[in-house]
């Protein structure tokens, strides 16, 4: 009989809420029994949503860990730079943990948290949700089967849409390293670096080089005559691709970020939203007026592996269409696909049977009978990650997709070395 796992939410934001929602769909598997967050509005919203007792309702981690352990695990969805300082006392209290990525913002913090997890024998799973999607899990199965042979080269890229770039990495919480302590490669694309290194798990990177810059944003690139707030004093408000009006009102996007300042109002009107963007809402401010602090809007990374293989990853922020692509070339064949289309092809060398010299099989994960199509957050990966975490706590072996803290060290270290290369203009050894 599987045990129902009880969890405490530390950081009552969007990511913790996404993971915790599994408890509403499968109350027999998980129950939220505590909330920790300094924001009284967020605490109350999550307390009501998950029907949490007032006695298990805390403003901070220090207050929470004074209590005797009363749950099996913690879902830590705090901001990136708070992951290590909040996780250490929780692990020391004896809780297991599902910890949002990136789990640390520098190598020293990373090593400290791993040391604490080892000392206490903690089960810590990192939120690398893309591993759980049908798309990447299916491709991983092809790699494990050996059907494309040994990997010679792997190329991945992430195209971040212009509106996602603006809302999260210019206007939002990850605009500046001074604020979030995590560069965009870590905050956004540690997902993608993790996927690349997960596919290459039989070998490790030995050298990394990286280049990146901010090409689009900053006050020196602001159009002449542009105002300070889109809906207040800007003559370009109707034509600008970053207009708060078009992105957040006319075609509502990213409401979980833009309207957080108004979430205490349960009957929010469009006029109240518009007034907020005209006045004090940071998402109504001109996109060129934010401090970028050296953060990038595009970056490329190249990997050299111990077995002689090579890999590349490219992140470009500001694209029309959001998209992740992967191309793996092996000694016997290749795999090429686009995550957002849930479609990939496997090509195998066939010199004796094909005029072209290869045979191609298309895998369309949107088609019934092939696989379950990509549905839900991160292509269905969010929910599957939580179920795998619950199974792990129930004594099952971690699945091939599971990223324990030990597994995640490899990709985090690679990102830290890539940033060192980018800052210093050098090839960095790992």
pLDDT of residue 377: 61
Q: Are 260 and 14 in contact (CB under 8 A)?
A: no
Q: What is the mean pLDDT of the chain?
A: 94
Instruction: Say which residues have a Cβ less than 8 Å from residue 422's Cβ, sequence separation at least 6.
Output: 185, 210, 211, 212, 296, 299
Instruction: Say which residues have a Cβ less than 8 Å from residue 6's Cβ, sequence separation at least 6.
Output: 30, 31, 32, 33, 70, 71, 72, 73
For residue 340, give Cα distances in angstroms to 86, 136, 337, 375. 34, 11, 9, 11
Torsion over CA: 97, 100, 101, 107 (sign):
negative
pLDDT of residue 266: 81
Helix (H) or strand (E) holding 260: none
Q: Are 298 and 319 in contact (CB under 8 A)?
A: no
Q: What is the mean pLDDT of residues 229-249?
A: 96
pLDDT of residue 263: 86
| 227 confidence band (pLDDT: 50, 70, 90) | very high
> Encoding tokens for residue 132?
């759980």
User: Cα–Cα distance between 194 and 313 in angstroms, integer?
Assistant: 11
Kindly report the pTM of this predicted structure.
0.92
Which residue has tokens 């599957």? 384
Q: Which residues pair with 205 in a beta bridge?
A: 305
Percent of the chain with pLDDT over 90: 87
Q: Are 374 and 383 in contact (CB under 8 A)?
A: no
Q: Does the pLDDT at position 371 exceed 60?
A: no
User: Cα–Cα distance between 9 and 104 in angstroms, integer?
Assistant: 18
For residue 347, give Cα distances in angstroms to 212, 357, 360. 33, 10, 4
The domains located in the chain, with CATH, are 5-122 (3.40.50.720), 130-217+294-374+403-429 (3.30.360.10), 219-289 (no CATH)
> Encoding tokens for residue 19?
């993971």
If one compares 230 and 292, the residue with the highest pLDDT of the two is 230
Q: What is the mean pLDDT of residues 296-308?
A: 97
Over its C-alpha atoms, the chain yields an Rg (Å, rounded) of 23
pLDDT of residue 378: 67
> Encoding tokens for residue 347?
């090509």
Q: What is the mean pLDDT of residues 175-189?
A: 89
Strand intervals (E) in 254-322: 298-305, 310-319
pLDDT of residue 369: 43
Q: Does the pLDDT at position 149 exceed 60?
A: yes
User: Cα–Cα distance between 168 and 164 in angstroms, integer?
Assistant: 6
pLDDT of residue 372: 37
User: Could you report the per-residue pLDDT of 247-292, keeping only the tens digit for each?
Assistant: 999 999 999 899 999 988 888 999 999 999 999 999 999 999 998 8
Percent of the chain with pLDDT over 70: 97
């Amino acid at each position: 009989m599987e045990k129902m796992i009880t969890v405490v939410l530390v950081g009552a934001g969007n990511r913790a809420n996404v993971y915790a929602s599994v408890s509403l769909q499968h109350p027999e598997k998980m129950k939220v029994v505590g909330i920790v967050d300094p924001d009284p509005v967020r605490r109350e919203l999550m307390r009501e949503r998950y029907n949490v007792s007032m006695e298990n309702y805390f403003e901070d981690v220090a207050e929470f860990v004074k209590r005797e352990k009363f749950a099996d695990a913690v879902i830590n969805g705090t901001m990136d730079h708070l992951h290590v300082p909040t996780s250490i006392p929780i692990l020391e209290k004896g809780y297991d943990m599902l910890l949002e990525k990136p789990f640390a913002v520098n190598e020293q913090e990373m090593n400290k948290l791993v040391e604490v997890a080892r000392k206490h024998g903690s089960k810590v799973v990192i939120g690398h949700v893309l591993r759980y999607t049908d798309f990447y899990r299916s491709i991983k199965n092809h790699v494990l089967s050996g059907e494309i042979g040994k990997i010679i080269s792997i190329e991945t890229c992430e195209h971040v849409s212009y509106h996602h770039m603006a809302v999260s990495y210019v206007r939002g919480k990850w605009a500046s390293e001074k604020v979030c302590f995590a560069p965009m490669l870590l905050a956004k694309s540690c997902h993608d670096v993790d996927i690349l290194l997960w596919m290459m798990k039989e070998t490790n990177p030995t050298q990394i080089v990286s280049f990146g810059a901010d090409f689009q944003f900053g006050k020196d690139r602001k159009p002449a005559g542009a105002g300070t707030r889109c809906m207040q004093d800007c003559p370009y408000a109707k034509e600008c691709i970053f207009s708060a009006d078009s992105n957040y009102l006319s075609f509502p996007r990213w409401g979980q970020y833009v309207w957080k300042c108004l979430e205490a109002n349960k009957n929010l009107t469009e006029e109240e939203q518009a007034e907020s963007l005209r006045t004090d809402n940071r998402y109504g401010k001109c996109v060129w007026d934010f401090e970028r602090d050296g953060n990038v809007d595009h970056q490329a990374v190249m990997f050299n592996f111990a077995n002689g293989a090579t890999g590349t990853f490219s992140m470009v922020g500001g694209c029309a269409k959001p998209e992740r692509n992967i191309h793996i070339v092996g000694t016997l064949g290749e795999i090429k696909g686009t995550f957002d289309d849930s479609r990939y092809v496997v090509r195998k060398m066939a010199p004796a049977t094909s005029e072209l010299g290869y045979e191609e099989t298309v895998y369309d994960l949107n088609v019934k009978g092939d696989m379950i199509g990509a549905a839900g957050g991160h292509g269905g990966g969010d929910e599957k990650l939580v179920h795998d975490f619950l199974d792990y706590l129930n004594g099952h072996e971690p699945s091939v997709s599971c990223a324990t803290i030990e597994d995640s060290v490899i990709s985090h270290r690679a990102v830290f070395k890539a940033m060192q290369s980018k800052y210093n203009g050098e090839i960095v050894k790992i």
